[in-house]
A and B are shown apart, each in its own frame.
Chain A
Amino acid sequence: MIKMELRKDGRRFDEMRTIEARAGVVKNADGSALFRIGDTVAYAAVYGPRELYPKFLQDPTKGILRCRYNMMPFSGAGDRVKPGPSRRSTEISLVIEKALLPVLSLEEFPNAVVDVFIDLPQTDAGTRCAGICAASIALADAGIAMKDLVSAVSTGHVNGQVVVDLTYDEESAEGEVADIPVAFMPRTGKLTLLQMDGEIGKEQLMHSLELVRKACRQIYEIQKAALKEKYTFNGESDEE
């Protein structure tokens, strides 16, 4: 059963926060993007394909994807986030890598690495999903062959009400909550990221996934628009 009342911040149950996406925001990078969803902001920059060192990490059959997810020290609600990798950021970096890998064709780049760096200056939940959305635009911006983009947002329920794109307030609400970050390859409709914290029944889970698939279609359009915008305006301008 879906309750139709509005959420604390006035959104409908299936409504995402305001999204803004821009490609080409880091001039030094081969590809880059900014993805903002509500108060969560993610920068992503792609460097490569470039030679991978130390050499023993190289794979002669294909290129390697390496992601680093990083919250800036002042980006979190509450205390300062200690700089440097943590158990949390290391795991998130790993799942982001796995979320992006299926759309890339790295066979063309033996012994090389594609580095994806994600930095968040401001966060209000949904950071790994925002990071994936930004990284996906940045990879396309870098001109790396891709089978699809990857679009991601969280879903779940807050005290029985199934919702998409949870805020920190919703995630940490009293009572029964489930937070499910999901990434989709929008064209094929396949999942590349699926995690969950909390408690949920199977029926609600499947309903959540249906909602988030639709939300990801919307994100996909925004991602494409960001890329189109850069390459339309950049027609005659410099190629960094």
Chain B
Amino acid sequence: MRNEKRAHVLRFLEKGLRFDGRKLHELREIKVDYGISKNAEGSVRVCFGNTEILAGVKMSVEKPYPDTPDDGNLIVGAELSPLSSPEFESGPPKSEAIELARVVDRGIRETKAIDTKKLCIDKGEKVWTSTIDLVTINADGNLIDSGALAAIAALRNTTLPHYDGQKVDYKKRTDTPLPIKKIPIAVTIYKIGPYFLVDPTNEEEDLVDARLTVTSSSGRISALQKGGDHPLTIEDVDRMVSLALEKAEELIKYL
């Protein structure tokens, strides 16, 4: 069944076509809506076609890690909610969700998107921790790119709650935004047979041989993640990175 479907998709791709009428390098319709959860310090809903994902940021004051005593912390969580797909089950996060969270985390961290020194309250004692949680509402492919876009959008939507030195008062919001220095954009290029495509639906994603996620900011690459069961050649990587950098310029316009 999978082989027949794959052959069918390959015939389409050869003509430069996809089942939903898009070209190979064409993104689906993208929507970004801010402020979808009032109790979060920042929140957003991102849709890539039928894929819908929410991101919310909670801020808290914590002890810094001993090796970074004057840097704010970052935590990224992802839940592939069983609400969002017949394939997802309840229970502790599976490897797919953990990979999603870690790829998004690494993109933000390695780009140095947040000026973490500015989130230090008391060196070695107290720093702001930004916790981003991603939750899928409808999973229809390309969760990494949509999740990464949602994460940075939610961070940019965040304002600090009031802190009196003892306690965070979540009811009192300040108008201080997070110190965002750079905007990481993740673009995943998917390979089926000899063809490269972006933003696959779930149906296409099931047929993917390999994928490469390139996170970049203003043309500089800050994180990579290869996925899928098949290997890539150096030439593949060359093409995929170029395409990813090109698409990043398109994606950032939605923020």
Please give the residue numbers on chain A whose beta carbons come within 8 Å of chain B beta carbons, in ascending order: 25-29, 32, 39, 41, 43-45, 47, 50, 68, 70, 72-80, 83-85, 115, 117-119, 121-124
Contacts and interface: CB of A to CB of B under 8 A. Distances in A.
Contacts of B137: 25-26, 43, 119
Given A72-B133, A73-B58, A121 B83 contact: no
A80 B50 contact: no
Interface string B19-60: 000000000000000001111100100000010101011101
A44 B37 CA distance: 17
Nearest to A26: B138
Interface stretch (B74-82, B229-237, B243-251): B74-82
A77 B54 contact: no
B135 A119 contact: yes
Nearest to A122: B37
A122 B140 contact: no
A28 B85 contact: yes
Nearest to B202: A28
Chain A interface SS verdict (over half): loop
19 contacts: A26-B137, A27-B50, A28-B85, A28-B138, A43-B83, A50-B86, A70-B81, A72-B37, A73-B79, A73-B131, A73-B135, A74-B39, A79-B58, A79-B60, A80-B58, A80-B60, A83-B133, A119-B81, A119-B135
Contacts of A47: 82, 86
B166 interface: no
B39 A77 contact: yes
A138 to B, nearest CB: 10
A74 B60 contact: no
B84 interface: yes
A92 to B, nearest CB: 14
Contact of B170 (A50, A77, A123): A77
A225 to B, nearest CB: 23
A171 to B, nearest CB: 15
A92 B92 CA distance: 19
A41 to B, nearest CB: 8
B81 A73 contact: no
